[in-house]
A and B are shown apart, each in its own frame.
Chain A
Amino acid sequence: MPFRRRHRRQAQAVSLHRRRTLADREDVLGVAMLAPALAYVILLVGVPFVLAIILSFSTASAGSLTFGWAGFANYAAILADPIFLRSLGNTAIVTIGSQVLVVVLATAAAQVFRAAFHGKRTARFVLLLPWAVPVSLAAIAWTWIFDSTFSVINWTLKVSGLLHGWLYWLGEPGLALFAIIVVQAWRIFPFATIIVLAGLASLPQDVMEAAIVDGAGFWRRLFHVELPLLLPVVAVAVLFGVVYTATDLGVVYILTGGGPANTTQVLPTLAFQRGIQGSDLGQGAAIAVFLLPFLIVVAIAMLRLARHTEVGAR
């Protein structure tokens, strides 16, 4: 740092030989270059964010541009609505269920993919496919895989003797939720794996060597040395996973459309159904606002994590 600052001063001293103009003032340039991004973020993220909260207290509908104050009427309406309560519960179930699966799959996959083996590049390519494909296209592929008549899963289970009846994957609430959890985990675990791999690569080598010298075996090293050290990295993966899952509309919308009979609705699909398709913007906004607690928890956790690891790294 001091080295850098000294040179900077020298550079400024040299430019002093010319006339110092506006083009040399870092503060002015800094603000000017930042202004468009700030304007975009404030006008098109900040303002709509506030508008979302205002709308949730309003009688707004899609047809007209004016709206009146509704107080807590929208909130009272949805809190008394069993479909909403179910969708709130489903959001939690899907998020937690899929993230548990993601953590298990990702830490296991990272152990495999840190080793050297033949065909690793191909394996990595295949592993990353779920994250690269657009959510909506992956969801439509899974819809076909879970088809009530043609499901290849049913065929395979039947032939292997594990299934005697029939599974209507997207037609029964419990199975449909399970299918949604599997698809969400499938979609996010490659991303989590890569993050955990990045974490593994940055582990202090001396600690691992010390553990080996002390005679710790693979499992002991994994559970007592690596995983605790990896915790901040796994947490980052989970936090992004929570945001991606809790706020995702595409998977549920395409896989089940919230059905059968609204039993697999999650907050985003219900907000879409009421707010956009049903034109009740106020109620849709109120439903979407219930995503905030998930996001606030994630944001706080991330900030703490960032501070924590920064201290640890120095």
Chain B
Amino acid sequence: MKRVGLYTAALGFMAFAGFPFYWMLITAFKQNRDLYVGAFDTKHVPWIFNDPPTLEHVRLLFEQTQFLRWVGNTLIVVVAVIIITVAVAVPAGYSLARLTGRWGERLGMGIFFTYLIPPTLLFIPFSRVISFLGLQDSLGALILIYPTITIPFCTWLVMGFLRSVPWDIEEQAMIDGYSRLAVIVRVVPRLIVPGILTVVVFTFTLVMQEFVYALTFISSVDHMTVSLGVPIALVRGDVYHWGSLMAAALFVSIPLAIVYNLFMDRFIQGFTMGAVKG
């Protein structure tokens, strides 16, 4: 009896969480005459395929829209932001965890708090900074601004990650005659590969998801990223191509969902550090 309740509750949560994705899936592959039947027609069941599925919307998405171009733009921004974030946040996290002593912890907390300053507070001053730098409507604006979100969080992640890395190996290297700098350059990178991987994944997901800055800085369809282009530019005039729109949403969501599942526990450690202590 208890098991039945458990499974019912689990199914209920799955239904609520997964429903929009089921809806993306079914919309993306339905024929138009099956799709656009008003909900007042109670005889036509919208939850299932009443006609055979079609690839028409997917074809339209790939052949007649800028979708692939947006994917390309997103990848360019992803790679650039990852490089900047790793180069800046990983050394900073190491420094705060190992080199700066007592005030490192406080400073780390301070840096993490800047993560709470939201894009919606900063987009107005940034619009001025971006036009001052002449970066309006270019991917450069996104590459410059996105690290303001990734660096604070990733510095914090790396700092937390290093707490779980024993000090012995670095110490041994110093006893063996390495200078402190040589330890950092030659020994440390190998120790923190998993931490760096988490930084890369977090940055990837963040860039894929960001909407506010992209909406503010990017105006031409050619320069859009997927999270901006799909909801904003796939609407032609007043006509929504719901099939293609949902196909695009689905194709972007699936890889992100898989990545999230693999790295979830690491992210959560970053968020709950302090509140949950072993």
Contacts and interface: CB of A to CB of B under 8 A. Distances in A.
Interface in B82-114: 87-89, 91-92, 94-96, 99-100, 104, 107, 109, 111, 113-114
B249 to A, nearest CB: 4
A288 B124 contact: yes
Contacts of A127: 13-14, 17
Contacts of B196: none
A62 interface: yes
Interface string A115-142: 1010010011111111111111111111
Nearest to B166: A4
B64 to A, nearest CB: 19
Contacts of B205: 132
A33 B95 contact: yes
B138 interface: no
Nearest to B259: A132
Interface stretch (A18-26, A81-89, A172-180): A18-26
B272 A198 contact: yes
A123 B6 CA distance: 12
Given A29-B95, A202-B276, A247-B121, A149 B39 contact: yes
B118 A247 contact: yes
**Which of A33, A112, A138 lies at the interface centre, i.e. has the most chain B CB atoms within 10 A of its CB?**
A33
B39 A158 contact: yes
A158 B148 contact: no
Contacts of B152: 41, 45
Interface residues of A, number: 121
Interface stretch (A92-100, A205-213, A232-240): A232-240
B237 interface: no
Contact of A137 (B89, B128, B144, B253): B253
A133 B212 contact: no
Contact of B116 (A7, A232, A243, A254): A243
Contacts of B226: 134
A38 B184 CA distance: 19
B253 to A, nearest CB: 4
Given A15-B177, A248-B120, A271-B120, 20 more contacts: A25-B180, A40-B151, A49-B122, A49-B125, A51-B125, A52-B121, A52-B125, A65-B131, A124-B261, A127-B14, A127-B17, A132-B205, A133-B252, A133-B257, A137-B231, A139-B231, A149-B38, A152-B39, A202-B277, A281-B127
List the 6 shortest-distance A-B pairs measured between CB atoms, nearest first: A30-B99, A247-B118, A37-B92, A23-B181, A268-B120, A33-B91
Interface of B: 3, 6-7, 9-10, 13-14, 16-21, 23-24, 27, 35-40, 42, 46-47, 87-89, 91-92, 94-96, 99-100, 104, 107, 109, 111, 113-114, 116-129, 131-132, 144-145, 147-148, 151-152, 155, 167-168, 171, 174-175, 177, 179-182, 184, 205, 208-212, 215-216, 226-228, 230-231, 240, 242, 245-246, 248-249, 252-253, 256-257, 259-261, 264, 268-269, 271-272, 274-278
Interface of A: 4, 7-8, 10-12, 14-15, 17-18, 21-27, 29-31, 33-34, 36-38, 40-41, 44-46, 48-49, 51-52, 55, 60, 62, 65, 105, 108-109, 112-113, 115, 117, 120, 123-142, 144-145, 149-152, 154-156, 158-159, 166, 186, 189-190, 194-195, 198-199, 202, 232-233, 235-236, 240, 243, 247-250, 253-254, 267-268, 271-272, 275-276, 281, 284-285, 288-289, 291-292, 295, 298-299, 302-303, 305-306, 309-310, 313
